[in-house]
Chain A
């Protein structure tokens, strides 16, 4: 484990404690996501952030039914009454949301995707145009910065490219004020992984 220089930690310069939420979409212990979660928590805590991590595989979260009830019946709240609601509430009250997942065909694992689909109540059913494309309007005044982290034994370059686009698209659709993406290789040295995470946090700080 490389020692993190907290004085140089980019998040430390925040004027108020940053609230960070790590959504861990790992399928099982040992797939690398828990180790990355630990590194993230350490860096964020050392930087003075309020941090919470949720191991989604341990949570009772149903999948989106596509009913649009969160827009038309109970606006802003999913009709499925389970932990998916509280995770959505935590996401929108965070300053930084980390989407951590084993790289899954260039996308998110089921465990992470079940939550991402349940974030739809956080946006409005009404439409707007962004750079010539249609998107849903924001429901809230502010949204968290988004950091997507994919983890793989041997990341396939095509999958890495797709993952980066996916996080970028999600950031656009969920109105993230800034976003970062990193794909970590399970076989690389921990110091290098730490360095990459640190660089992403620095970039997010700059973009805020």
Chain B
């Protein structure tokens, strides 16, 4: 397997600012850069905006011989705008097949504590690689992504130890032109903290934010319930809550 010369990180988070997907992806890219690989990063939110943006992004994609996609799990799959870019890439490669071999690896993080909930999204990425002629180099899945909250991994303390090890091991293998090793996959999937604590923190975080927005009393509202719809239309029925 040939070692890559140029790597491209595609960040699939819709957020314009910092994101967990970008924190994970850029850590991996840092290791690749240390190994002497030229690196470049793009946020797919902008690329997906319109076809002109996509065509502007194509030279970066075509230059790379290692493509990394890092994204958050959205409804058991990839975010919609990321799906749009993958559809466009597939159409482009069908029309103009890429002559240079390109490898494709994925990092997916989810808000649930269980990394295994990312399995379907990883399988979709593997199918995308197969359909578009990219060489599948494997994928890393991480649970409890909310604990990163878009900050640099090193700043998140000891809980990121296994994640950092996983990314380093994955980068070492990818830099040699190899697949992401099983050990890195396993390290990445390890719980970064007890699920009970993570979920308590998550719940508290959502409630705090709602309180700040003055929306805590509406936290359990059912705005599309029949009762709520009637109330909205002046039929004087209470908004339903569970």
Contact = CB atoms under 8 A, between A and B. Distances in A.
Contacts, number: 157
A156 B127 CA distance: 9
Interface of B: 13-15, 19, 48, 72, 74-81, 83-84, 86-87, 90, 112-114, 117, 119-120, 123-125, 127-128, 130-131, 195, 199, 202-203, 206, 209-210, 213, 215, 218-226, 240, 242
Contacts of A75: 210, 215, 218-221, 223
A73 B79 CA distance: 21
Given A104-B83, A133-B114, A169 B120 contact: yes
Interface of A: 27, 63-66, 68, 71-77, 88-89, 92-93, 104-110, 113-114, 116-117, 119-120, 122, 124-127, 133-135, 138-141, 156, 158-159, 162, 165-166, 169-170, 173
A138 B242 contact: yes
A66 B15 contact: yes
A47 B90 CA distance: 39
Contacts of B84: 63, 110
12 contacts: A64-B74, A66-B72, A68-B209, A73-B209, A105-B125, A113-B75, A125-B202, A141-B225, A158-B127, A162-B124, A170-B75, A173-B76
B241 to A, nearest CB: 9
A104 B213 CA distance: 38
A93 B75 contact: no
Contacts of B131: 105, 156
B123 A165 contact: yes
Given A72-B209, A76-B224, A108-B83, A141 B242 contact: yes
A107 B78 contact: yes
A128 B84 CA distance: 31
A138 to B, nearest CB: 7
Q: Which of A75, A114, A135 has the most CB of B within 10 A?
A: A75
Q: Which of A105, A125, A166 has the most CB of B within 10 A?
A: A105
Contact of B195 (A105, A134, A173): A134
- The list of the 3 closest CB pairs from A to B, nearest first, reads A110-B84, A169-B76, A72-B209
B127 A66 contact: no
Nearest to A124: B220
A120 B74 CA distance: 9
Given A76-B223, A162-B124, A133 B83 contact: no
A117 B79 contact: yes
A64 B124 contact: no
Contacts of B218: 74-76
Contacts of A76: 218, 221-224
Given A105-B86, A113-B80, A133-B112, A126 B203 contact: yes
B221 A113 contact: no
Given A66-B14, A105-B124, A134 B209 contact: no
